[in-house]
Chain A
């Protein structure tokens, strides 16, 4: 270390600053990583309960995971998992279509309703989301989508219905694709639909992936609307409600370590997806297609 430092022609002052910066980054990194490490450790903890007298677990076990994945009596996690998976796959397909359609129309087509639509989207975005929740519930109820298995349909409808308002990032990306590429395609004989599907979408892979993933993740992390819609219908619960319930007074002692295990289980795929799409996310932010 000393040697390496000496090789670089750094003044002593700069070297001290540099060491300080690295120490600071180290401390910050520990602060950011520690809670994650702790939850992973907790998921393997042998002793139950949310509160222990020691920071590190006293014994390690895999039972938390086994219990989580096999216990179907108290909190049926496997069922919740399949529920969420089905909902998220379907709503992911629909809302991706919605978002990209709206974004493309606003970016490439010119029609009277365009500006009003964008203004309306901005205004609607200023209302607190929960304000509409009750009314949405009543509307779903009048459609008969709040009982039994149709709750799932209700959830899908709610997760998809308003995604047309979240077009901004995709539109921003589409806007960076040079117009002349579209025009070339139109002269080559493409209809607008063909321009959309054969030119714009393949050119926008990063943003398509980004949209698909955000849409897919949404049902896994929403607990509030799912709670309102599912109420006591335990067999329609999604993972998020399940995890939430595990921390309620009646379950927390028995289920806290299982909660940790569940958190780890759903975090792993989401983390992998996220780390993979991170560069697309950054690219999407800065826009990157050149002709």
Chain B
């Protein structure tokens, strides 16, 4: 069996004239094996690729190692009696073009491999005396056996262009000097792992801020995830109690807050908690306090406020998601516990919580990731503040909001990219560790 598997190697070894010819003239195998239209298309793609490489691709690649050398210059034009600007190299464009070219090359290689295999397959079909699918049958098959190609091509192209390419581009940016620091906004150079060292170095200014922000990010994510989870579950259980009257009404009260767009509620909360905002006014009018509470200017208070407001935002969500699952807990489990004389608290920790953790581990991981990347809540509530003088990161900044500030506000693009990569690394570790240790991974049938 192994000898006639369809691989590129076998295609080169056992291929007929046309199949081998496709190694140079792509599509030749299809043209020679009765698939004219496809063959022409592939050949055209090859031509297009070489035209692209000749006109700009090779140049793009050539510029990649240096990222451009010509600074924008001023030349005194004697005749016109003015300074003229000469166009310099724009490193950021060079980098982008280089990354795109690399992707084009990878795509071309993939196409080459595919068409080699396909040519060989066609050749074998003919050798075995079987029918070669006509263009019509191929198109028909795109809506039947190959429907996934039809359905997924566009989404994949979208993801490739607007997610993968940008990611690679940003990751490569982390290894450059692209930053406002030292005037490297137009012309910058490769910088190795210097920026990473800078971020990880606890003694430097940036490094100190990084560890600081990282610490708070993790504290925040843990609190936000688990408090929301447990309190949301308790709320769902309280509402679903047998003796609770007006279940639908209570549920409605809480669900209403989800219905208001999050960014609106967050902005309102921000205003309400200002020194002269509604909450302080309400409390002062009631005579409970004399001075406004500094919700956003005191570090500790700001952090607590954010976590509490996140509870306000998140609990109804958890309640909604958890209600259905709670009702699925087998009743016998509760009955057995009650027979053993367990009180409500014990039942919660011995039965409800383990069961829920078992079922909802993926959800928990997702919400943990979501919280680490929770941009809106910080940006709209505290804006990351309060900020110490000389710092780029505020006391309540998460890695994402700091990333935003570094790139959009400060234009420290390379540092921003490093922070992004660090966030990814941390999330990967957390996800893998929790997933590996979760009971739903270890033992799939514990509760079933």
Contacts and interface: CB of A to CB of B under 8 A. Distances in A.
Given A164-B158, A275-B255, A127 B167 contact: yes
Given A101-B155, A192-B144, A263-B268, A139 B250 contact: no
B258 A274 contact: yes
A158 B250 CA distance: 38
Interface string B307-330: 000001000100011011100100
B145 interface: yes
A93 interface: no
Interface string A22-53: 10110011011101101100000000001111
A35 B243 contact: no
A165 B162 contact: no
Given A36-B257, A127-B423, A160-B158, A139 B375 contact: no
B96 A32 contact: no
B259 A132 contact: no
B403 A128 contact: yes
Contacts of B238: 21, 24-25
A66 interface: no
Contact of B159 (A104, A164, A263): A164
Contacts of A281: 320
Contacts of A87: none
B55 to A, nearest CB: 16
A196 B144 CA distance: 10
Given A25-B238, A38-B278, A105-B148, A132 B255 contact: no
A33 B256 contact: yes
A274 to B, nearest CB: 4
Contacts of A18: 243
Given A54-B281, A221-B262, A35 B255 contact: no
B161 to A, nearest CB: 7
A267 B162 contact: no
Given A136-B162, A243-B264, A267-B264, A130 B375 contact: yes
B316 A32 contact: yes
Interface in B235-268: 235, 238-239, 241, 243-245, 250, 252-265, 267-268
A224 interface: yes
Contacts of A14: 243
Interface in B298-350: 312, 316, 320-321, 323-325, 328
B428 interface: yes
Interface size class of A (residues with CB under 8 A): 35 or more
B318 to A, nearest CB: 12
Contact of B250 (A29, A126, A224): A29
A25 B148 contact: no
Contact of B375 (A32, A129, A132, A164): A129
Contacts of A135: 96, 165-167, 169-170
Contacts of A163: 155, 158
Contact of A228 (B148, B152, B235, B408): B408
Interface of B: 92-93, 96, 140, 143-145, 147-148, 150-152, 154-156, 158-159, 161-167, 169-170, 235, 238-239, 241, 243-245, 250, 252-265, 267-269, 271-272, 274, 276-278, 281-282, 285, 312, 316, 320-321, 323-325, 328, 369, 373, 375-376, 379, 399-400, 403-404, 407-408, 413, 416-417, 420, 423-424, 427-428, 431
26 contacts: A14-B243, A21-B244, A29-B253, A32-B253, A98-B158, A102-B152, A105-B147, A111-B148, A113-B152, A114-B148, A124-B159, A125-B369, A127-B423, A127-B424, A128-B403, A138-B169, A139-B96, A142-B93, A142-B96, A160-B158, A164-B156, A220-B261, A221-B263, A263-B264, A271-B256, A285-B321
Interface of A: 10, 14, 18, 21-22, 24-25, 28-29, 31-33, 35-36, 38-39, 50-55, 98, 101-102, 104-105, 109, 111, 113-114, 117, 123-136, 138-139, 142, 157-158, 160-165, 191-193, 196, 217, 220-221, 223-224, 228, 240, 243-244, 247, 256, 259-260, 263, 266-267, 270-271, 274-275, 278, 281-282, 285-286
